[in-house]
Amino acid sequence: MRALAGAEFRLLARSPFAIVMAGLLPTAVGLLIVWAEQDTGRAGWGGAAGLLLVTLVAFTAYTGGTTTLAARRQQFVLKRLRMSGARDATILGAVILPLGALTLVQAALLVGILSAAGHEPSQPWLLAVAAVAGTAAGSVLAIATAVVTPTPELAQLTTSPIALAFFGGGLWAVRTPPAEVSWWMLAVPGVPVTQLARAAWDGGPGVLAAIVAVISLSAALAPCAVKVFAWDPRR
């Protein structure tokens, strides 16, 4: 796992396009959300942080992870790695690990900006849970979406529905009082992440339900995504 992930880190660092798409772009969008909240104050800082997290997860961990997996499969990298005897889950995890780590670094940087501006969360552990669990969910969804993504160029198309579910779920949660967020709402990607981030600043009910929802998504989907993953290049 360490060797494979290290190779992916080096490939990521050598690709200017990947750095821009997986690094600067979501960071810029996140800063825009922070600026908008500073200007309007309509979402609250917890809600703004939740929107920031779902933006990072959707852009970096999810869309970036899907694109990377489709590219490595098209280059026969995944098939060669599978012939090495490494477990399927280890190979897939190593490929998407750098983008997951980048997502968490981006989140830490922007939360640091909020804290420096005097908007620190009252329960930072909830924000950490939201970031880690949301990144894990985005990474697992990336594996699942890569199954139906034949080329990296088509990743922008195949990831659109779930990326919109992340953004839409975040906006839906922000516009809904915490006590009114139901179980079926928590099934929408973005809602539990935003709910946890909002609770990190403002407290409120529904924390346990949000944690269970986002962890259950990863736990239920991960084995299925690994099992049905297509290792040969697709057309």
Provide the pLDDT confidence category of residue 201 given band limits of 50, 70 and 90.
confident
pLDDT reported for residue 3 = 66
Residue predicted with more confidence, 206 or 145: 145
The two most distant CA atoms of the chain are separated, in Å, by 55
Provide the pLDDT confidence category of residue 216 given band limits of 50, 70 and 90.
very high
Kindly tell me if the per-residue pLDDT of 10 is higher than 80.
no
Average pLDDT on 202-225 reads 90
Provide the pLDDT confidence category of residue 225 given band limits of 50, 70 and 90.
very high
Kindly tell me if the per-residue pLDDT of 163 is higher than 90.
yes
Average pLDDT on 162-187 reads 91
pLDDT reported for residue 42 = 64
What mean pLDDT, rounded, does the chain reach?
Answer: 85
The domains of the chain are located at 2-228
Kindly tell me if the per-residue pLDDT of 13 is higher than 80.
no
Long-range contacts of 123-126 (CB under 8 A, 24+ apart): 123/199, 123/200, 123/203, 124/200, 125/200, 126/196, 126/197, 126/199, 126/200, 126/207
Q: What percent of the chain shows pLDDT beyond 70?
A: 85
Kindly tell me if the per-residue pLDDT of 193 is higher than 90.
yes
Summarize pLDDT for 120-149 with one digit per residue, the tens: 888 989 999 999 999 999 999 999 999 999
Summarize pLDDT for 41-65 with one digit per residue, the tens: 666 778 888 888 998 899 889 998 9
Average pLDDT on 18-37 reads 69
Residue predicted with more confidence, 235 or 161: 161
Provide the pLDDT confidence category of residue 24 given band limits of 50, 70 and 90.
confident
